Amino acid sequence: LFVIILCFMCLEGGNVGEYFTLNNTSGKLMITRSLDREDVSNFTLVIECRDLGSPPRSSTAQLYLTVLDEND
Please tell me the predicted confidence (pLDDT) of residue 51.
92
In a domain, 1, yes or no: no
Give me the domain span that covers residue 12: 6-66
Identify the CATH number of the domain in which residue 41 sits.
Answer: 2.60.40.60
Residue 71 lies in a domain: no
Q: Are 58 and 49 in contact (CB under 8 A)?
A: yes
29 sits in the region (left: phi over 0; alpha: psi -120 to 50; else beta) called beta
pLDDT of residue 72: 62
Q: What is the pLDDT of residues 11-59, one digit of tens each?
A: 866 678 889 999 999 999 999 999 999 999 999 999 999 998 889 999 9
**pTM greater than 0.85 (yes/no):** no
Residue 6 has pLDDT above 90, yes or no: no
CB atoms near residue 41 (< 10 Å) = 13
The pLDDT of residue 13? 66
pLDDT at residue 8, as a whole number: 87
Amino acid at 55: P
**Total count of domains within the chain:** 1
